[in-house]
Each structure stands twice: as structure tokens, then as C-alpha cells.
Structure 1
Amino acid sequence: MKNLFALLFLIIVSNYGQAQTASFYEDTDAFLKTYVSNGKVDYAAIKKDPSSLNKLITQAEAINVSKSSPADYQAFWINAYNLHVINGLVEAYPVNSPLDVKGFFDNTKREVGGETLTLNDIENKKLREQFNDARVHFVLVCGALGCPPIIPNTYKPDTLDRQLTAQTSKAINNPSFIKTKGKKLQVSQIFEWYAQDFNQGENTTLTFINAYLTNPVDENTKVSFYTYNWKINKL
């Protein structure tokens, strides 16, 4: 009988957790559709009424996801990162750049997923260290114009792989993000800062880029890095 009650308890807890996560994804989607347009965020409007964002931040505090469900795990932490970037900038708004907020990425602690983490912790410990997938750099949005643009949709487990590929392809085929100048390629400093993620085995940064470019460049093309634009990605 005790085993039966224990099993029923686990089923109830599991169903509740799944419902909680599903609600988080739905609410995040509605929030982004309201405040995100053309890859930018309406921070001023959120500042006037932060209730929907506050609800999402509270939801994200209590959600627990397991690496045994990789897509759910990754989707949650990607959404959590992007929402906490927005929340941090809304709290500081008006502000010209996330770098104007002391310790924005590496020192400010945030309650999320049952843990106390910085934004760098989410990016590096929850995502980069757990999954060998450089596409994550094209869906984590740091609140600056130099980032790949934020989309007005949530990342969901059942669509995550397609979304990762789509956002990587969009960024790499954007002439403002990957700049071709004759036999030279100027690319975001993202490729410099996270070189180890793009240089895997015999593959190089250029190999990664060519895998998504509609018109791949010659393998001998010289790659350089242009200066990252840290200006806030506000509407």
C-alpha cells in the first residue's frame, strides 16, 4: 500500500511539474509576442507594466528540469536566460547597454530553476558545459544589438532543434552579422570568444559558418572579427 501511495504521489508531482512547465512556455510566448518586434525589445513598455514579466520570473524560480529530457532542459534554460536578461535591463532602464549595469552577466545572482545563478552560470554551466552544440550562441540574447536578434516566440522542446537551426542560419546569412568583403570574411566576436565551441576536431569556425551559408565561401577565405555592438537592443 505504501508503494502504491508513493507511486501515486510521484505521478501527481510529475503531472504538476509538466503542467507548470507548459504554462511557463505558453506565458513566455504571449509575453514575447507582445513586447518583441524586429529583433528588439520594448523595454519602456515593460517598465510601465512589468506584471507579465514578473509572473514569468516567479514561474521560472520553481521549475525543475532534468537533463534526462535534453530538449526540455535546454528549452527551459534558453528561455530563462533571455527573460532574465530582459528583466535585468528593465530593472535598470533607462540604460544604454547591459555593460552599464555592474556585474550584469557575471556577478548579479538570480533565482531560477530552484538555484541561485548568474547569467554566465546559465550560459556556461547549464548549457555550454552540458551540450556540445554551438547553435546555442544564436538563441541566447544578451540584450545588445551585437547579439543575434531575439524572436517573438518561446523555445519549446518539440520545436527546439528546428529553432536552433533556423536561428543559426538566419544569423549567418544576415549580411550585417557575417560580412563578406572580397576574399575576407568579417564575423561577430562571438566566434572569437567561444572559439572552442566552433572549432571541433578538424572543423574550424569557417567550416561551421559554411555549413549554414546559402553561398559557402572558399575554405581559404581569411576570417577576422569586427567589434561587438553592446548598445541595448531596444525598440
Structure 2
Amino acid sequence: MKNWLIVLCALLGLQSVSANAANAFDHSAWNALLQQNVHLLEGGKASQVDYQAFADNEAALNAYLKALEGVSQSEFDAWPKEDQLAFLINAYNAWTVSFILTKWPDLKSIKDLGSFFSSPWSKEFVPLLGETRSLDNIEHTLIRGSDRYNDPRIHFAVNCASIGCPALANIAFQGDNLDSLLETQTELFLADSSRNRLNGKKLELSSIFKWYREDFEKGWKGYNSLEAFIHNYASAMSLPESVKTDLSNEKVDIKFLSYDWDSEQETIRPIR
């Protein structure tokens, strides 16, 4: 009965994108799926995605994806930017889960869904806002490519289904929780010493900061350098005052860590 309630909730989203009075689109169906199938570890620094449970209840996921597909470009454009960004983040994450399920359980990494000539993120299979898009298009064109958002914290919200990426939150993004949830996800990622840490006097950071460094230097909240962004989250990383001073002066030695594309940790079904 519970599963059918989730399906019904998603189908209702097809009829009205204003089901939730506080938000432009009601993502409660996705929220319910996340709550059931994403298990937080280490206080939220990591998460374990129960893909088998998602597969067992794929009808509910497909109903939510159909609801996303039903939103037109004109409807989307009329929303506040917070609702737009929440919608795009959820779409990316939900379609990534759906993508994994196309070969589940016979894959070790999301990279197995690509080919020698193209990455899985460039495959066009997502019907969204009137076009068939790739995951890259959602992230790099709709989100990063729009001057409307300019929020580097999105890199800790979109989930690429790999060990190296930030944890998938078990709460759906909504317009009214966007800022607080982005902040939480950013702090949790930076607090994870397996991905970001101080090693002696050297700051070792995730390769995310190397690949998308320009996003952290575009002036969000006045931060025009990666060092300034990291300084803002020095407490989350438990950095000493001496390092904070060096960050302020942009005199910190930064090394970028290798990225783990393996999805094995994410796909283990938790014991219940």
C-alpha cells in the first residue's frame, strides 16, 4: 500500500506543478523514495543507495520522472530561481538513479554505461523541458551554464553515483529548503576527511575543486578564489588558525586527490 501511495503522489504532480503551496513543484514523491532507499553514513558525510530497493519500486520512480517530464519550459521559466534550481538538481539525481537501474545489478561503475567513444553523462536519454537531454546538459548547460544561479554548492548536490562524489542527500531539494540543504551538503562534504583534509601543511582537496575551480571563483558571496571559498568552510574542515591565515593570504599548498569512480560502495544493499 505504501508503494502505491508514492506512485499516486507522483501522478498527482502531473496534474498540477503547484501541489505544494510553498513551492512551485511538489517533490514529495522523490523525497519519499530518498527517505526509503538512501541510508546516511557517518552522520551524513556518506550515503548508501539501495539500488535494489529502487528497482523493486521502479514504478514510483518512473511516475516521478514522468511528472518532471510534464513541466514545460514556459512553466519552468515562470518559477522563482530557487524552485528552478531545486527542480534541476532533483531531476539530475533521479535520472541518474534510473540510469543505473538500466543495467543493475550488472555494473561496478556508472562509467560502464558509457562506451569507448562517449561518456555515460553525454548520452541523451532524459526528456526534460521539451527536449531530450543528457546528464551533462542538465549540469553544465541548464545549471552551470545559466548566469541565473551561480552557486558553486551545486557540486555537492548533484550525485554521479560514484564513491568519490558527494553523498546523495536523503531529502529532496525544494525551493524553500534549497539554501539550507545546499549549505548542509557542502559542510558535510568538506568535513569528510576521505575527500578533503589537511595533511601536514598541505591541503588535500577533492578533484571537484580542480575540475570546477572557475565556479568557486565567480564571486559567489564575494569569494573570488578557491582559497576564499575554503576559508569560509574552515570550521567544517577543522582547520587551525594558521591555515586559515594562509588561506586568507592565498599561500596554501593545495593538492587535488584522485577521484574514485567505483560505485561498489553505493550499491551494497544495507541489512535491515
Same fold (TM over 0.5): yes
Contact between 1:67 and 1:73, CA under 8 Å: does it hold in 2?
Answer: no
Structure 1 runs, 4 residues or longer, greater than 3 Å off: 20-24
1:51-70 aligned at under 5 Å gives the runs: 51-64=59-72, 65-66=76-77, 68-70=79-81
Contact between 1:47 and 1:90, CA under 8 Å: does it hold in 2?
Answer: yes
Name the counterpart of 2:5. Answer: none
Aligned-partner SS, 1:223:
strand
Which of 84, 88, 112 is equivalent to 2:95? 84
Aligned-partner SS, 2:121:
coil
- One-letter code of the match for 2:29? D
Contact between 1:106 and 1:118, CA under 8 Å: does it hold in 2?
Answer: yes
Measure the CA separation in 1 of the matches of 2:48 and 2:129: 26
1:119-198 aligned at under 5 Å gives the runs: 119-130=135-146, 131-198=149-216
Name the counterpart of 2:19. Answer: 19
CA-CA distance at 1:108 after TM superposition:
3.1
For each residue in 1:48-95, what CA deviation from the matched residue of structure 2 results, as whole angstroms up to 9, or x when unmatched? 331111111111111242265101100000000000000000111121
Q: What 5-or-longer segments of structure 1 have no aligned partner?
A: 1-14
Question: Given the two structures, how large is their TM-score scaled by the length of structure 1?
Answer: 0.87
Aligned-partner SS, 2:179:
helix
Query: Please, what is the CA RMSD of the aligned residues?
Result: 2.0
CA-CA distance at 1:24 after TM superposition:
4.2
Measure the CA separation in 1 of the matches of 2:85 and 2:154: 9
- One-letter code of the match for 2:130? G
Name the counterpart of 1:5. Answer: none
CA-CA distance at 1:234 after TM superposition:
1.9
- One-letter code of the match for 2:152? A
Contact between 1:24 and 1:56, CA under 8 Å: does it hold in 2?
Answer: no
Q: How many residues align?
A: 221
What fraction of aligned residue pairs are identical, expressed as a percent? 30
Measure the CA separation in 1 of the matches of 2:208 and 2:120: 18
Aligned-partner SS, 1:156:
coil
Aligned-partner SS, 1:33:
helix
CA-CA distance at 1:188 after TM superposition:
0.8
Measure the CA separation in 2 of the matches of 1:36 and 1:114: 30
Aligned-partner SS, 2:18:
helix
Which of 23, 29, 32 is equivalent to 2:31? 29
Measure the CA separation in 2 of the matches of 1:182 and 1:52: 48
Moved more, 117-126 or 195-204: 195-204
Name the counterpart of 1:207. Answer: 228
CA-CA distance at 1:175 after TM superposition:
1.2
Measure the CA separation in 2 of the matches of 1:76 and 1:118: 16
Contact between 2:25 and 2:87, CA under 8 Å: does it hold in 1?
Answer: no
CA-CA distance at 1:128 after TM superposition:
0.8
CA-CA distance at 1:191 after TM superposition:
0.7
Q: What 5-or-longer segments of structure 2 have no aligned partner?
A: 1-14, 41-46
Question: Given the two structures, how large is their TM-score scaled by the length of structure 2?
Answer: 0.76
Aligned-partner SS, 2:16:
helix
Measure the CA separation in 2 of the matches of 1:61 and 1:196: 31
Contact between 1:169 and 1:213, CA under 8 Å: does it hold in 2?
Answer: no
Aligned-partner SS, 1:45:
helix
Aligned-partner SS, 2:204:
strand
